[in-house]
Amino acid sequence: MRKEDDPFRPVHQGEPLFVTRRKTGRVISYRVFSASVFFCICWIWFYRVTIPVEIDENRTSFVPIVWLVILIMEIWFGLYWVVVQSLRWNPVWRFTFTDRLSRRYGNDLPTLDVFVCTADPVIEPPLMVVNTFLSVTALDYPPEKLAVYLSDDGGSELTFYALAEAAEFAGIWVPFCKRFNVEPRSPAAYLSSTANVLDSAVAKEVAELYREMAARIETATKLRRVPEEARLKYSDGFSHADKFASNACAAESEGDFQVLLSEYSPVWYGHGKIGLGLILGYCCFCLWAPSSVPVLVYSVLTSLCLLKGIPLFPKVSSSWFFPFGYVTVAVNSYSLAEFLWCGGTFRGWWNEQRMWLYRRTSSFVFGFTDTILKKLGASESAFVITAKVAEEEAAERYEKEVMEFGVESPMFLLLGTLGMLNLFCFAAAAMRLITSRDGEHFQTMGMQIVITGVLVVLNWPLYQGMLLRNDKGKMPVTVTVKSVVLALSACTCIAFM
């Protein structure tokens, strides 16, 4: 392309649109830390390859196969950890100068698509969502080149109703913002700001219209239902909102994995166009779905081998135990420290670990399986549509931080089976540990006892939903029974092998 044909050629070469800054001290410290972790990961691989597997009356002939599977899983974990380091290895901070954009490109601006994402009208109140939507639609950007989309993973009628109200109000708000150069462009933020003075008749009229719209949305949110007149007015939209409610995690992980396998994969499509670090950064998310399989297999084998009395890790007193202990403690300690540094709490971090486990042993597994079947021509991708429970009761449980189950789902069956399997195996190991007088059992099985014990503690809300709760959000009895039967069957099979 000739230079004069480039519609994005800069007008003012000396004015950068952004500047990039780097911080060295913290980065160097992190690189030293990550290098130590990677050294121990390599140490673990070396242990798996060089230390022979002992076979006796408890360690049956399938143990070498288990050992090989564990090695493959740990190689995957190690390599994926290396991929994730791309997000932290060379962090930069970019500061933009939006006022220079029009001076440089004039009217030759690219088309811009903005996605506003939401998932739960309780966690993210509809009025807050529509304020975000309105602030984006009022951006100082050519309207013919700006498209705004609202993605609601929860398919909530309340969110759709709020959006419908906001779409009508946008016809007034957007021209008002551009005529009077309003800042900030979120109606709630602008009207609550002490800096602006609503001294014109037009401004007061806009403010009154916003308050009326906000009152209607908040009333509907409080009552957990959409006004009947609005339902009739937007009848087609409400039917579509209900139809496309889905399980967002499965769709997200499946979509990322499909991108990885497509012609637009960051691995080959991005080669030569973007740097290696950015390619690896994209792969962190594209590998969510396939990473679920190693997590699932590793957690199952660790628990079943604990039940059988087959050690998968070195003795606690052995020098070979150090890399396993260091990687486990160091990685989780850094994760906690980073979470706290970002303003979180220990309880919040612990809940994040629980959801990390649940996603990778349920929705991500289904996303991975569905993608593979589709590639083989055996299945078509589809969202998993689940029934909804009463929103008011669900909101009350959410405020009490009680997990929501309530409906039958293959994902809940998988989670329930894994949870009961962990519980049965840990209970058997605890009984064996109590009867062990010399402490040799903990020396041999210590790492597996800790891993399975942590899984049991993480699963406590799951056990509550299956065995202790009586509300509508508990796990369905059929799912609980099936989970117990499947877990007991697996334990019985491994015990007699």
Q: Do residues 216 and 165 make contact, with C-beta atoms less than 8 angstroms apart?
A: yes
pLDDT of residue 99: 74
Binding-site residues: 124, 153
Q: Do residues 395 and 224 make contact, with C-beta atoms less than 8 angstroms apart?
A: yes
What residue spans of 98-185 are helical by DSSP H? 101-105, 126-137, 157-180
21-63 residue pLDDT tens: 887 777 888 999 999 999 999 999 999 999 876 655 555 567 8
Q: Do residues 289 and 367 make contact, with C-beta atoms less than 8 angstroms apart?
A: yes
384-442 residue pLDDT tens: 444 444 456 666 776 777 788 888 889 999 999 999 999 999 999 999 888 877 778 88
Structure confidence at residue 250 as a pLDDT band (50, 70, 90): low
Q: Do residues 132 and 102 make contact, with C-beta atoms less than 8 angstroms apart?
A: no
Q: Report the mean per-residue pLDDT for the chain.
A: 84
The DSSP string of 356-425 is: HHHHHTTHHHHHHHHHHHHHTTS------------HHHHHHHHHTT-----S--HHHHHHHHHHHHHHHH
pTM of the predicted model, to two decimals?
0.75
For the chain, what are the domain ranges? 1-23+93-108, 24-92, 111-245, 276-495
Distance of alpha carbon 408 from its chain centroid, rounded? 22
Binding-site residues for UDP-alpha-D-glucose: 124, 153
